[in-house]
Amino acid sequence: MPEYPPLVKKLMKAYPGKITGYKNDSLVWFDNSKMQFDNGKKNRPYDSLISSPDVEDQFYLPYSTGAILSPKKNEDPGRVRNENFFKKMYGTTKKDVIANCATVMWLKKSLNQKILFSKINGANIQLQKVSDELDLLPDSLKKYLSPLAGTFNWRTIEGTNRLSPHSFGIAIDLSVKHSDYWLWQKTKNGELKYRNKMPLAIVKIFEKHGFIWGGRWYHYDTMHFEYRPEFFAI
């Protein structure tokens, strides 16, 4: 690839055929339309990052795999999302997104539940691989995997007017009963205390196939997994 910024190269590797180049500081999309990559604003406060990020801001922190650690304040790798980027990738309306979805059979052997997931970038194929591997886990871990709390759902993120990644058919929520979510926690001084019950064995299988986990966020959402291959592209 020519002299593209390293983060642009990651996007091109993760989304081949969707992001095809880089010109005049903008991403070039499959239909030759352009999208600003970096607006040049640096060291923005977390609230403004999360509410109005450019595409480059999505990488404000690298995503780390490995042992489950308690994230530091406002460390949410993958939670900063530019809505136009996801609309361009997966569909602008509910109808468009559905047209881009395919069926995944969740836990074929033990449950065989049909769920809708985007087929853009082969996200559905990756989720099927995840599911097939999860199916091989010991029965003691199956309670985390169903009933599912949600997959495709055109909705905003609780307490915001931003579209949830569930709107784009790239996110899946496992069992609520065995999960923790930052908004459920009553804070005394505004500081969150990290909580998690999701076993690392489950997290590892998702990450292996290009999914990030909401349990690695300060604003933890431990049932939540989201297809974001750019965080694993080298």
Residues lying near Zn ion in the complex (CB under 5 A) are found at: 171, 173, 224
Residue number, 27 or 80, with CB nearest to Zn ion: 80
**Geometric angle at alpha carbon 181, from 177 and 185, rounded to 5°:** 105
Nearest to 74 by CA among 185, 190, 158, 159: 190
Do the beta carbons of residue 59 and residue 76 sit within 8 Å? no
Q: Which is nearer to Zn ion, 88 or 224 (by Cβ)?
A: 224
Least separation in angstroms between CB 23 and Zn ion: 34
* Rounded Cα gap, residues 80 and 51, in angstroms: 8
For the chain, the 3-state helix, strand and coil shares in percent, each to the nearest 5, are 35, 15, 50
Residue 148 or 200: the one with the smaller Cβ distance to Zn ion is: 148
What is the closest distance, in whole angstroms, from the C-beta atom of residue 100 to Zn ion in the complex?
19
Nearer to Zn ion, 209 or 224 (CB): 224
Give least dist CB 171 to Zn ion, A. 5
**Closest residue to Zn ion using C-beta atoms:** 224
Residue 143 parent element (H or E): none
Least distance in Å: CB of 150 to Zn ion?
6
CB closer to Zn ion out of 12 and 171? 171
State the minimum distance, in angstroms, from the CB of residue 55 to Zn ion.
Answer: 22
